[in-house]
Structure 1
């Protein structure tokens, strides 16, 4: 299986500019505005009026970049647009129709059909389902129609208003625009201060200070294998035909309320899992990574301190946070063979490098959720396929004696919500993930119902492998699952 090429790595970063909601909004608004006024490009006066109008509107761009308006808060985005329509005269409806048309074309056809067809082999008719997914989507991407539409319509309306005023040489009511921006700031702050209250509570202390046991002593395991089924929604896993994973769960220890982090984006979740801390510390706040590399130690750094090796097998965008610890795989392949190829690559890594820790990211379930939705049979069928591949991989490891003193951890990095398999804002289906451990050091037939966090992954791995805790690890060791802690 091919590694992700340098071109693919750069292309993935460019795509995140359009995929992630924060950068998409200003890019889309500027593009639509310039396209609508393309006939004026040869007029120097256009660029002057356009630039000054943009400068007056810039505070609104900044506010909509800073504030997400997640989940039900997006309903409140329509009120500033209505207020703007009452304050300023409405005109040029063709501009707004163009914006809506281009947005639907981009999300439903270019992204939902053309892009997925070229990258993972989705049917050319995917738009017949994808339009419903875009309208219901609640995550933090550009495909969140109920968040993006009122944002870009307001920005285009105000910018075009001031452009016309400056173009005509009229006395522009800049003061009104600044007052409007101030009102929007207060409005946004109040909504996020008093209604945005569903983020997971962070653990205030470091693992090294709060744990009764310490890592860095004698290892309990020779190896640990972590298989992350990216985007596997918990209740859909229960409905899927996945006998092997469910057998491992029943024979090991399950954490029934394992909570992901906020925002529940793949690169963020992996960064938190394998550093043991939160985005504000490790610095990865979305799939769009502006500053490459985590800012704190990872479990891979901890293993190096004791002469051990860990490898993370995943697609290109994990390189942005974990760098050289990632064994990259290309994400440009038919979704029906993606996980098969990843498992074959995992076998090769184990055979040739024999790492003490292997983390493998299976991507088929997540990609099916994004391209086809999570509430359809396509999604549970992909979970069933992942189950068979995991069974094959574990059997392969057993044949080579690599499971004799090994803990196997199976989990998801996040769930997925309705719509385009959305995840980010912790909508229903995103927050809690399947998580269970299996192996000779793990209690059998045990279930933990208390709430835990995925930030416990890194310190638990350190403890099992006899490595020190990563420097900023905050999660507690999952001692309830370990045999010697009766």
Structure 2
């Protein structure tokens, strides 16, 4: 199993500029406008007009970067578009500019991303666009593939850049005053409008735990074995129930299940892993999307805590996780056929156990998530990947038992987030994203127990500290899951 190369790590960061919705919006808007006026690149007046238009649109760019407009709030994005058309109804619109924007967006998402990119990276069919177009139109997550969010955003921004630049520069065919007073009021009104929407309608973000974790003493006679955290990335709770996964469901029945385990917001992979293994929230650990602008978490992780007591923890995952967890990540390449991904990850996990003997090993299985993103979470292929993960984990557990590494070991099986309809959507906590499968198994775990109280994935790090006799990470807020143990 190859590690992620240096090139892949850089490429993954570059791809996030186009994958994550917030950086995509300005990049796409600027790119479309420049391409449409490619014949005028040699004309200095064009660049003057373009620069003035960007300057005028800058407050709107900032507004759309700051606010998410998640789920149904994206429907309200069309009101500023309509307001702008009414306020500047005498403006001569260039239909070709907006047609190019819409066409390039559909080409980028449906074919370049949904077909070409996924074929080269994970072996998806060249005909994947026949399904992917439906996923783009339904997608509700925080990526660039969220058509219902991206379309009104870049159409308004194109209008602002084109109209303000042309009138400010006095371009022929766009005579008259732009109406800067009106524009300032429009921008201020849009900002207030966005604030009101998020203040009064955005009410589904999970509530944060206000205080830090209370230390819990571990009983002296408790089993002291290793801990294995097996994360099936992007596994929906309801699809797991539908899957034929006898091994994992036996572990769940013979262990302790948390039926209301909640992920964090935004439910993006790097964000969720950072919260799971620091015990706190994005505003505190600093990772707020898969696009990590400043590398490294701002707080201690469970891996830091383990080092304080001379123990080792390793996180086996994709290159994106290096951006937050750095050298604690054993990276795996995500450029391989998706049918082989989890098998190769499992073989690499065995190698880490043999060579490094970590007290804590976290393994990220990626095939389920990648199938959801490329083919949709409500199709048969997605359920099959959950079933394949079940077989691989059964094999891994048997291998550990033969070696003696499973003796007194505790296993935690979970997902970092679920997936919504569309492009395996996750980020905004749509249906299927918010609550994840989560259960523990091992000799020190209570058998046949279901905990129905609501809990959060921020409890993972403090629970690992409890199990491994390590101090709590510096900013841990989740409670230790003590009701899972004897």
The TM tier, using the shorter chain, reads over 0.9
Distance, in Å, in 2 between the alignment partners of 1:396 and 1:450 is 34
SS in 1 for 2:335: coil
Q: Partners in 1 of 2:98 and 2:222 — Cα distance?
A: 62
8 Å CA contact retained: 2:256, 2:440: yes
Match among 420, 434, 445 for residue 431 of structure 1:
434
2:17 aligns with 17
Aligned match of 1:180: 186
Name 1:314's counterpart in structure 2: 317
Q: Which residue of 2 aligns with 1:56?
A: 56
Which aligned pairs between 1:400-439 and structure 2 lie closer than 5 A? 400-439=403-442
- In structure 1, the partner of 2:143 is 141
- Deviating 4+ runs (over 6 angstroms): 215-219
Pick from 272, 285, 291: which aligns with 2:288?
285
- Equivalents in 2 of 1:216, 1:95: separation in Å? 68
- Tell me the distance in 2 between the aligned counterparts of 1:40 and 1:398: 69
Is 1:39 matched up with 2:39? Answer: yes
Q: Aligned partners of 1:172, 1:14: CA distance in 2, in Å?
A: 37
Instruction: List gaps (5 residues or longer) in structure 1.
Output: none
1:174-224 deviation digits (Å, cap 9, x = unpaired): 2222111100000000000000010001001101xx34x247988742200
The answer for the alignment partner of 1:192 in structure 2 is: 198
- Which runs of structure 2 are paired with 1:248-397 in the superposition (5 Å)? 248-397=251-400
Name the counterpart of 1:124: 126
Task: Summarize deviations over 1:368-394 as a string: whole Å, max 9, x none.
Answer: 000000111011011111100000000
Distance of aligned partners of 1:471 and 1:331 in 2 relative to their CA distance in 1, 3 Å threshold = same
2:162 to 146, 160, 163: 160
- Post-superposition shift, 1:47? 0.7
Match of 2:115 among 107, 113, 118: 113
Deviation, 1:455, is 0.3
CA distance change for structure 1 residues 217 and 165 in 2, over 3 Å: closer, same or farther? farther
For residue 93 of structure 1, the aligned residue among 70, 82, 95 is 95
Q: Does 1:450 align with 2:453?
A: yes
SS in 2 for 1:450: coil
The 8 Å contact of residues 216 and 467 in structure 1, kept in 2 or not, is answered as: no
After superposition, what is the alpha-carbon deviation per residue over 1:331-373, rounded to whole angstroms, capped at 9, x for unaligned? Answer: 0000000000000000000011110000000000000000000
5+ long unaligned stretches in structure 2: none
Matched, 1:459 2:465: no
8 Å CA contact 2:222, 2:444 repeated in 1:
no
The Cα offsets for residues 46-85 of structure 1, whole Å up to 9 and x where unpaired, read as 1111111211111111111111110000000011101111
Give SS of 1:442's match.
coil
Deviations 1:425-484 (A, max 9, x none): 00000000000000001001111011000000000000001000001000000001000x
Query: Secondary structure at the residue paired with 2:259?
Result: strand
Measure, in 1, the Cα distance between the counterparts of 2:321 and 2:149. 27
Distance 1:154 1:38 in 2: 21
Task: Determine if contact 2:223/2:443 at 8 Å carries over to the other structure.
Answer: no
Range that drifts further, 84-93 or 240-249: 84-93
Q: Partners of 2:220 and 2:295 in 1: how far apart?
A: 32
Q: Cα deviations across residues 269-313 of structure 1 (Å, max 9, x unaligned)?
A: 000000000001100000000000000000000000000000000
Tell me if structure 2 keeps the 8 A contact 1:313–1:358: yes
Secondary structure of the residue aligned to 1:313 is strand
Q: Hey, what's the Cα distance between the residues in 2 that align with 1:263 and 1:327? A: 24
Partner SS for 2:452:
strand
Residue 39 of structure 1 deviates from its aligned partner by: 1.2
Query: Is the 1:140–1:423 contact (alpha carbons within 8 Å) kept by the matching residues of 2?
Result: yes
Distance 1:108 1:350, change over 3 A: same
Count, aligned residues: 480
Mean alpha-carbon deviation: is it higher for 215-224 or for 328-337? 215-224
Give me the whole-angstrom Cα distance separating, in 1, the residues matched to 2:274 and 2:446: 27
Aligned to 2:152: 150
RMSD of equivalent CA atoms: 1.2
| 3-state DSSP of counterpart to 1:360 | strand
SS of 2:104 mapped into structure 1: helix
Structure 2 counterparts to residues 463-482 of structure 1, below 5 A: 463-482=466-485
Match status 1:66 vs 2:62: no
2:82 counterpart residue number: 82
Structure 2 residue 404 is the aligned partner of structure 1 residue 398: no
Counterparts of 1:190 and 1:163 in 2: how far apart (Å)? 29
The question of whether the paired residues in 2 share the 8 Å contact of 1:217 and 1:466 is answered with no
Distance between the aligned counterparts of 2:146 and 2:28, measured in 1? 14
